[in-house]
């Protein structure tokens, strides 16, 4: 009796600790390639070491094999999914390489058992299988074959299989409450600037929104769908503070290279996760790498928002040069592009806000800026 009770408490405690608390993002753009890598940090060292090593190997291989033909830019995209059930934490990494001749897809799953503090492979999960790649969710178990750069998927009902681990779900999903956003009164006779941040949320988001709050200003954040769940508390706070969220695709694939169906999936999956997790529906969309074509325009019914002041904070590591680019030639109605995935961007923002305020501009979100433009058009 006593033993059973102690065991239950231990499971409960370890179960609570296994959450992702951070997503690592690597973004690189140059003449030869667009690279976007997102992977989770779980604070389970066995899992984190393996994931980091796997990601780093794919990244290195891609760089080694990318040929430099200027008009044929290649793309590497690494994304993840996270699933936690009972004492198991599962991370699935998917990598996608588009070298303009071929697309290569690869999938690999890492499964950790917190009761045994060990990583499990396919043999720990199911008896007979001719592949080592698998994953599962609430209802289905998947087996993958990575053949000829494509992923062949076989799907089974969990209840039909004789699995060696217990992945049955007893939890009831909570329904999130809708968050009310506040409205402000804006005088169209002023001078306005919209700050926008791409590629988040990240470990710097909280600092950024707290800084904005100190100045009682708001910004627009074009976020990635695959990071919403992990940073949902910070995102909820951001919405409460009056910031605007826009859609920046699910995992930052280079959209102009995708077919219609995949573009729609990138946009709609992000809309869904934001709506289901935060009770918020974005109305704005910013295409990845700022690349637009007719397909992308047609496949999203959200308002497309680009920018006209580029801080190039992803490229320049010097805080002052970011500040200079953001503040030098500002005009009424400008939209400033920054990224919330770099510490230097946050450091620059601390200097940027007071300089812009000093110049007499009022900070607004993109939707507020549109509202002002409408009012002005009406008054003319």
State in angstroms the smallest separation of the CB of 112 from Zn ion.
30
> Measured from the CB atom, is 198 or 244 closer to Zn ion?
198
Of 48, 198, 299, 368, the one binding Zn ion (CB under 5 A) is 198
> Which stretch, 99-107, 124-132, 197-205, 207-215, contacts Zn ion (CB under 5 A)?
197-205
126 Cβ contact partners less than 8 Å away, ≥ 6 residues apart: 134, 141, 161, 162, 163, 164
State in angstroms the smallest separation of the CB of 291 from Zn ion.
10
Q: Do 120 and 110 form a contact (C-beta atoms < 8 A)? A: no
| Residue with token string 């992977």 | 39
State in angstroms the smallest separation of the CB of 108 from Zn ion.
25
- CB neighbours (10 Å) of residue 205? 23
Q: Which of 198, 199, 299, 313 is catalytic?
A: 198
State in angstroms the smallest separation of the CB of 354 from Zn ion.
27
- Tell me, rounded to whole angstroms, the distance of Cα 361 from its chain centroid: 30
Six token digits for residue 183: 């409205």
> Which stretch, 12-20, 88-96, 166-174, 198-206, contacts Zn ion (CB under 5 A)?
198-206
Q: Please report, for residues 199, 204, 208, 241, 354, the alpha-carbon distance to residue 237 in angstroms, rounded to integers and kept in the order given.
A: 18, 14, 12, 6, 23
> Measured from the CB atom, is 48 or 199 closer to Zn ion?
199
340 belongs to the binding site for Zn ion (CB under 5 A): no
> Which stretch, 48-56, 149-157, 196-204, 267-275, contacts Zn ion (CB under 5 A)?
196-204
What residues between 295 and 314 interact with Zn ion by CB under 5 A? none
State in angstroms the smallest separation of the CB of 27 from Zn ion.
7
> Measured from the CB atom, is 48 or 198 closer to Zn ion?
198
- CB neighbours (10 Å) of residue 215? 12
What residues between 171 and 190 interact with Zn ion by CB under 5 A? none
DSSP character at residue 217: -
> Measured from the CB atom, is 143 or 296 closer to Zn ion?
296
Number of chain residues interacting with Zn ion (CB under 5 A) = 2
CA gap 167, 183 in Å, rounded: 45
Q: Which residue is nearest to Zn ion (CB)?
A: 198
Of 199, 244, 313, 340, the one binding Zn ion (CB under 5 A) is 199
Check if 216 is active-site.
Answer: no
> Measured from the CB atom, is 114 or 252 closer to Zn ion?
252
Check if 339 is active-site.
Answer: yes
> Measured from the CB atom, is 75 or 199 closer to Zn ion?
199
| Residue with token string 């080694």 | 64
Report H helices in the chain: 2-17, 45-65, 122-125, 205-214, 232-240, 260-278, 294-299, 319-327, 343-358, 366-379
> Which stretch, 38-46, 152-160, 193-201, 369-377, contacts Zn ion (CB under 5 A)?
193-201
> Measured from the CB atom, is 99 or 199 closer to Zn ion?
199
Strand partners, 88: 85, 113
Strand partners, 230: none
What residues between 3 and 42 interact with Zn ion by CB under 5 A? none
296 Cβ contact partners less than 8 Å away, ≥ 6 residues apart: 255, 256, 263, 287, 304
Reported residue count of the chain is 380
User: From edge to edge, which strands make up the β-sheet containing 150-157?
Assistant: 133-136, 140-147, 150-157
State in angstroms the smallest separation of the CB of 285 from Zn ion.
12
State in angstroms the smallest separation of the CB of 59 from Zn ion.
18
CA gap 62, 55 in Å, rounded: 11
Q: Which residues does the annotation mark as catalytic? A: 198, 339
Contact residues for Zn ion, defined by CB under 5 A: 198-199
């Amino acid at each position: 009796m006593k033993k059973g009770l102690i065991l239950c408490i231990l499971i409960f405690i370890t179960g609570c600790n296994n959450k992702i608390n951070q997503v690592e993002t690597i973004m690189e753009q140059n003449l030869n390639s667009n690279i976007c890598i997102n992977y989770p940090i779980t604070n389970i060292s066995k899992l984190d070491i393996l994931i980091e090593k796997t990601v780093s190997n794919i990244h290195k291989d891609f760089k080694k094999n990318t040929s430099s033909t200027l008009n044929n830019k290649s793309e590497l995209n690494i994304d993840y999914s996270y699933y936690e059930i009972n004492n198991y934490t599962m991370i699935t990494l998917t990598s996608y390489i588009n070298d303009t001749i071929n697309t290569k897809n690869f999938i690999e799953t890492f499964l950790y058992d917190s009761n045994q503090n060990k990583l499990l492979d396919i043999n720990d999960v199911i008896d007979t299988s001719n592949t080592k790649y698998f994953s599962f969710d609430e209802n289905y178990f998947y087996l993958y074959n990575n053949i000829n750069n494509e992923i062949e998927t076989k799907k089974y009902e969990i209840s039909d299989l004789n699995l060696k681990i217990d992945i049955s779900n007893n939890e009831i999903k909570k329904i999130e409450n809708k968050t009310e956003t506040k409205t402000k009164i804006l005088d169209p006779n002023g001078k306005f600037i919209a700050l926008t941040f791409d590629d988040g949320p990240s470990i710097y988001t909280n600092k950024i929104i707290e800084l904005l709050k100190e100045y009682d200003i708001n910004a627009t954040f074009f976020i990635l769908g695959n990071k919403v769940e992990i940073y949902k508390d910070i995102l909820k706070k951001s919405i409460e503070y009056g910031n605007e969220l826009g859609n920046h695709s699910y995992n930052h694939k280079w959209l102009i290279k995708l077919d219609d169906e995949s573009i729609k999936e990138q946009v709609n999956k992000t809309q869904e996760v934001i709506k289901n997790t935060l009770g918020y529906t974005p109305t704005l969309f910013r295409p990845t790498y700022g690349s637009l074509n007719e397909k992308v325009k047609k496949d999203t019914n959200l308002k497309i928002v680009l920018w006209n002041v580029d801080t190039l904070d992803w490229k320049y590591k010097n805080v002052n040069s970011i500040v200079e680019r953001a503040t030098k030639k500002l005009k009424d109605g400008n939209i400033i592009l920054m990224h919330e995935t770099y510490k230097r961007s946050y450091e620059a923002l601390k200097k940027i806000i007071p300089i812009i305020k000093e110049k007499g501009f009022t900070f607004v979100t993109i939707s507020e800026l549109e509202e002002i433009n409408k009012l002005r058009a009406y008054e003319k």
